[in-house]
Structure 1
Amino acid sequence: MLSLPRQKLIHHVVRGAAALGVRQILVIALNVAGSVLLARLLSPTEYGLFAVVTFVLVFLTAFGDVGLGASLIRSAQEPPKQTYHAVFSAQLMITLLMGSLVMLLAPVLARAYGLPAEGAWIFRLIGLSLPLAAIQASPQVQLERRLAFDRLAVVEVAQALVFNGAAVTLAYMGWGAVSFALALLARSFTGALLAIWLSAYRPRWRWDVALLRPHLKFGLAYQGSNVLAVVNAAVTPTLIVAFFGLNGAGMVAWATGIVGYLQQPLLLFNRLLYPTFSRLQNPRDLSHFSNVAYVATAVIFYGVLALVWSNTPQFVQVIYTEKWLPALPLLYGLSLAALFVPMSIPNGALANALGLAGLVFRINVARSVGFWILMYIAIRLTDQLWAFVIVQAVAEWIHLALYLRLRRDVPGLNAPASQVPVLLSAAVAVVCGRSLSLGELEAPQALAIAVLLSGLVYLTVLGLLSVMLARMMPTSVYGRLWKWVRRRKLVNGEGF
C-alpha cells in the first residue's frame, strides 16, 4: 500500500482496528479458555513442560524470521513479487535447516528435561512445525501492508481455535505433553493454509541475495529485539527448571501466562501501530497518534488488571482451582512489573517506524545481559522464586531509555500525562474492590461482586478525570479526544 493522505489513512486504520478488534476478542477468549482448561487438567509439573514446549517453538521461529517481513512492511512502496519470493525462500531455507537440526537433536533434548524416550517425538513435531511458519509469513506481510486486518484476524482466530481445541482434547484423553506438540503442528498448518488462501500472494522459490540485501540491515536489527525478548523468556525453561524443577517452572509459567493474557487485548495495537506509524511522516501527526495510543493501551491493560486485582484469591480459586494459590505472590509481582507495558508497546512501534530498530536492539541487548546476570545472582543468593519477580520488575525500567530518545525525535510525546490518570483510576477501583467485606460469601459470589464494583468505579473515575483534564487542558490528548467525542468526527482542522 502506498503512502495515504492522513484522513484516508485514519479511515483504513479505524476500519481495520474495528474488524481486528472484534475478532481479537475471539482469539483472546479461545486462548484464555484453553489456558484455564489446561491449568485445571494438568499439574504444575505438566504445565511446566507445556511451557517448555511452547518456548522451544517460539524461540526457533524467532530465529528463523530474521526480520525480513518487518522490513517489507516498513517499505514506502509496494515491494515487487520477486522480493516477496526471495524473502519467502530465505525464511523457508532457514526454518528447514533449523527444523532438521531439532529433529536430529530430539533425543538429547528429551533427556535434558528428564523425559522418557518417546518424549523425543515432542521435539520432532516442533521441528516439523517450523517450515510452516515460514510459508505463512509472506502472505501475512502482504495483508499487513494493505492493513487487511480483517483477513489477518480470520487466520488468528482459526489458529487459536485449532490449537486450543486440539491441546485440551488430547490432554483430556491422556496424551500428555505430546498433545501440546501435535496442537502446535496443527496450528502452524492451519495458519499457513489460510494465509495463502486469503492473500493475493502465492509462494515461489527464488534465491536472490541482491534482493534480500537492502532489507537485511533493518530486518536483523528489528528481529534481534524479538529474539532477545525470547531469550529473556528462556529463563523459565533453563534457570527456573535447573533450580526449582518443572514444578517451579509450572508456577512461573502459570503466573507469567496470566499476565500475558491480560496483555492480549494490546496485541491489536501492537499489530496496528507499526504499519500505521510507518505511513505517517509529519511529527505532529506522529505525536498525536502516539499519545492517543498511550491512552488506549493504558485504558485496556490497567482496566483488566484492576478487575483481576479486585479479588485475586477468589479469582484463582474459582477459575484455576486451589492448587495454584501458592503461586499467588508471583502473580502479584509480575502484574506490578508489567505496569510499563502500555507505554512500551507504542514506543516500540514508533521507534521501528522511525527506523530506530538498531537503537531498540541495543537497548534490548543491555536489558537482556543485565536481566540474565541479575537473575542468576538473585536466584543463587536467595534460592527463592520471588527473586524472579524482583529482577523482572527492575529490568522493565530500561524502557524509559527508549521513551526519552523518542521524545527528542517526536516533540509532543507525553506518556505520563496520557497514562497516569488511567493508572490512578485503576488504583481507586482496586482499593474499592479490596475494601469490601465478602468473607461470608461463597467464592464465586464474592468474585462477581468485587469485579462488578471495581469495573463500575474504574469507568466512573476514569470518565470524571478525563472530562476534568479535557476542560482544564484543551490542547492535551484528553482535550482532543473530548472534541472528537463531541463532534463525532475522527479528524478536524485541529487534529484529533
Structure 2
Amino acid sequence: MVLSELPDKSNDPEESHEDNFQALKAKSLAGIGSLIKRQVATKVIYLVATVILARLLTPQSFGIYAIIAFMVQFFSTFGDVGLGAALIQKKGSLSREELATTFWLQQALVWTVALLVFALAPLAKLIYPQLPANAIWMLRVMVIAFVIASLKTIPAILLERDIRFDRIAQVDVVESLSFYGFAVVFAWLGQDAWSFVYAALARSILSVITVYLISPWRPSFTFRFSGVAELVRFGLPYQGNNVLAFVKDAVTPLFVGTYAGPAAVGYVNWARNFAFAPLMISEAFGRVAFPAFSRIQDNKELLGRTIERSIRMMTLVMFPVTALVVALAPELTHLVYTDKWLPGIPTFYYYCTSPAGIGVFLPLYIGILSLGNARIILLLVSGLVIFEWGIGVPCVMYFGFVGVAMTQPITVSIFTFLYKVILAKNGVRVNLTKNILPQFFAAVLAGIAIKLLAIKLVVNFVILGALLLAGGFAYLLMLLAVKKDRVDEFVEYAKSIAGIGAKK
C-alpha cells in the first residue's frame, strides 16, 4: 500500500500527515530490512562466486565480457525513456491504462534497439580489434537476454511503489544465484568469457518467471500515449541522467578497452567491483529511499531531517568498512584473489573514495530526485561527463589504466557540495559536518592502526580475519568515546529495520 492510499485517521491535516508518515516510515524500515537481508545473501553469493571466477578465469576473460556488456547496456539506455522512475515518483495511484501503455511503449523501444544491435553486431570487431571472433555472437546472445529481462519492468515497479521489498528481495536472490551459479559452472567447463554470457541469459529467463509468479500483473491491449505524456516529461530527463552517467563510466570499456585492451578493462572492473563491494548498504537504502522520500516531498523540514538521519546511519557503516578494506587491500588480494590481480590495487584505492562518499551524497541525490528536479541532475551529470572524459582520458594516456579512477575523489567532493546547495535552494536544509565528522575520524584512525599492525605481521587467513575484527572493534570504541548517542541511534535504527522492539 502506497502512502497516498493510507486512510485518514483524523480531520486534522497535520495529524493525518503524521499518521501517514509513520506508516510510510514503518514500511520503509521493513523494506530496508528485507533488502539488507537480501544484500547479505546476494553479496555472499557474489563474493564466493567472484573469488572462484577470479581463480578460474583471466583478466582478459573478464575484460571481454565487460566490453560486450557495455555495448548492450549502451544501446539498452535508448530502450527506456525513464518511465519506470516516473511511475515510482508519480503521486497517487496508477491506472491500468497507464501501466499498459507504458509496457507496450517500452517493448516497442526495446525491440527496436535489439534488432538494431543484432544487425550491427559485426561492427564490434572494428571498434575493438582485440576482441575474439566469437564476440559478435556473444553480443547477440546478450541482446536476447536484454529483451527477455525487459518483460519484468511493470510488475517490478508495482512492487517498488508498494514498498514490497521483501518480495523484490526474493527476485534479487534468484537473479544472483542463477547468474553466478551458471557462470561458475560454465567457467569450470572451460567456456571463458562465454560463461558470463550464458549466465546472463539464464538470469533473465529465471528472473522474469519469478517476478510474474510474485507479482502476477498482466498487460491489457491498451495504448494511449496522452495517458503517459506526463510520465514521459519526467522520465526523459531522468533517463537522460542515466545515459549521461553511462557515458561518464564508458571511459573504461570504450577508451581503456580500445587503448589498452581487454585485460586492462578486466583489471579496472575488478578494482571497481572490489572497491564497491560495501555498496550493498547504499543499494538497499537507495531503492527504498526514492519512493519513500517522494511521499514526503511537500514537507521540506521533514525531508531535511530524514536525509540527515540517512547520512548518519549510512556513513556510520560505510566509513569503517571502506577504511578497513583500503588498509588491508594487498593482503586481501593476495590471499583471496591471487597475485595475478595485484596490478589492479592502485586503481582500487582511487575507486574507494566513491563508496566512502556515497553515504553522504546518495541521500542528497535521492532527495533532489524526490522533489522532481530531474532536469537539475541532468545538467550536473552533463558537466560530470565532460569532466570524466576531459580528465580521465589524458590520465589513462599518461598513467595507464589506473588513470581512469583518478577522477573519483574530485567528483565525489564536487557533487556532494552541489547537491547540498541545490537542496538548500529548494528549502531543504542539511547539515553535513555535524552528521559525518565523528564517523569519519574514527574510521580513519582505525584504518591507520590496522595498517600499521598488518605491516608487522605475516598475514594469513586467520590473521586477516583477526585484523578486520580488531579494526571494527577499535572503530566502535572510538565512536562510543566521542559520540555514544550516534551508536545508540544506529542500534535503534537497526532494531527498527529488523522489526525488533516496539514500533514507533
Residue in 1 aligned with 2:410?
Answer: 394
User: Is it true that 1:62 corresponds to 2:77 in the alignment?
Assistant: yes
1:117 partner SS: coil
Gapped runs of 5+ residues in structure 2? 7-19
Worse overlay, 79-88 or 104-113:
104-113
2:152 to 125, 132, 136: 136
Residue in 2 aligned with 1:115?
Answer: 131
2:113 to 98, 110, 128: 98
1:162 to 171, 178, 185: 178
User: Is it true that 1:299 corresponds to 2:319 in the alignment?
Assistant: no
Of all paired residues, the percent bearing the same amino acid is 27
Residue in 2 aligned with 1:460?
Answer: 477
User: Is it true that 1:148 corresponds to 2:164 in the alignment?
Assistant: yes
2:336 to 303, 313, 319: 319
Residue in 1 aligned with 2:244?
Answer: 228
Residue in 1 aligned with 2:442?
Answer: 425
Alpha-carbon distance, 1:29 to partner:
1.6
Residue in 2 aligned with 1:474?
Answer: none
Alpha-carbon distance, 1:2 to partner:
3.9
1:398 partner SS: helix
Residue in 2 aligned with 1:309?
Answer: 326
Q: Go from structure 1 to structure 2 and tell me whether the alpha carbon gap of 1:211 and 1:101 turns closer, same or farther (over 3 Å shift).
A: same
Alpha-carbon distance, 1:377 to partner:
2.8
**CA distance in 1 between partners of 2:116 and 2:86 (Å):** 27
User: Is it true that 1:416 corresponds to 2:433 in the alignment?
Assistant: yes
Alpha-carbon distance, 1:208 to partner:
1.9
Contact 1:306–1:454 (CA under 8 A) maintained in structure 2:
no
Alpha-carbon distance, 1:183 to partner:
1.0
Alpha-carbon distance, 1:421 to partner:
1.6
Gapped runs of 5+ residues in structure 1? 472-476, 492-496
2:407 partner SS: helix
**CA distance in 2 between partners of 1:470 and 1:374 (Å):** 40
1:414 partner SS: coil
Q: Go from structure 1 to structure 2 and tell me whether the alpha carbon gap of 1:155 and 1:57 turns closer, same or farther (over 3 Å shift).
A: farther
User: Could you report, residue by residue, the CA deviation over 1:52-83 in whole angstroms, capped at 9, with x for unpaired residues?
Assistant: 23323333333322110111111111110110
1:124 to 140, 155, 158: 140
User: Is it true that 1:40 corresponds to 2:45 in the alignment?
Assistant: no
User: Could you report, residue by residue, the CA deviation over 1:23-64 in whole angstroms, capped at 9, with x for unpaired residues?
Assistant: 221122222222222222111111211222332333333332
Contact 1:333–1:389 (CA under 8 A) maintained in structure 2:
yes
Q: Go from structure 1 to structure 2 and tell me whether the alpha carbon gap of 1:274 and 1:184 turns closer, same or farther (over 3 Å shift).
A: same
**CA distance in 1 between partners of 2:41 and 2:306 (Å):** 26
Worse overlay, 384-393 or 140-149:
384-393
Q: Go from structure 1 to structure 2 and tell me whether the alpha carbon gap of 1:470 and 1:176 turns closer, same or farther (over 3 Å shift).
A: closer
CA RMSD of aligned residues (A): 2.5
**CA distance in 2 between partners of 1:173 and 1:18 (Å):** 37
Contact 2:178–2:199 (CA under 8 A) maintained in structure 1:
yes
Worse overlay, 50-59 or 72-81:
50-59
Q: Go from structure 1 to structure 2 and tell me whether the alpha carbon gap of 1:115 and 1:376 turns closer, same or farther (over 3 Å shift).
A: closer
**CA distance in 1 between partners of 2:34 and 2:194 (Å):** 35
Contact 1:52–1:237 (CA under 8 A) maintained in structure 2:
yes
User: Could you report, residue by residue, the CA deviation over 1:364-406 in whole angstroms, capped at 9, with x for unpaired residues?
Assistant: 01111121122223334x1523322222332333312122111
Alpha-carbon distance, 1:338 to partner:
4.4
Residue in 2 aligned with 1:257?
Answer: 273
Worse overlay, 32-41 or 136-145:
32-41
User: Is it true that 1:384 corresponds to 2:405 in the alignment?
Assistant: no
User: Is it true that 1:273 corresponds to 2:286 in the alignment?
Assistant: no
2:261 partner SS: helix
**CA distance in 2 between partners of 1:440 and 1:9 (Å):** 50
2:173 partner SS: helix
Residue in 1 aligned with 2:43?
Answer: 28
Alpha-carbon distance, 1:413 to partner:
1.1
Worse overlay, 232-241 or 443-452:
443-452
Task: Give the number of aligned pairs.
Answer: 483
Q: Go from structure 1 to structure 2 and tell me whether the alpha carbon gap of 1:103 and 1:411 turns closer, same or farther (over 3 Å shift).
A: closer
Residue in 2 aligned with 1:71?
Answer: 86
Alpha-carbon distance, 1:176 to partner:
1.8
**CA distance in 2 between partners of 1:462 and 1:237 (Å):** 41
Contact 1:337–1:393 (CA under 8 A) maintained in structure 2:
yes
Worse overlay, 403-412 or 237-246:
403-412
User: Could you report, residue by residue, the CA deviation over 1:300-327 in whole angstroms, capped at 9, with x for unpaired residues?
Assistant: 3213212312322111111110111122
**CA distance in 1 between partners of 2:487 and 2:185 (Å):** 51
> TM-score w.r.t. structure 1 length?
0.91
User: Is it true that 1:447 corresponds to 2:464 in the alignment?
Assistant: yes
Contact 1:236–1:249 (CA under 8 A) maintained in structure 2:
yes
Contact 2:276–2:355 (CA under 8 A) maintained in structure 1:
no
Alpha-carbon distance, 1:157 to partner:
0.7
**CA distance in 2 between partners of 1:297 and 1:53 (Å):** 33
1:284 alignment partner AA:
E
Contact 1:66–1:219 (CA under 8 A) maintained in structure 2:
yes
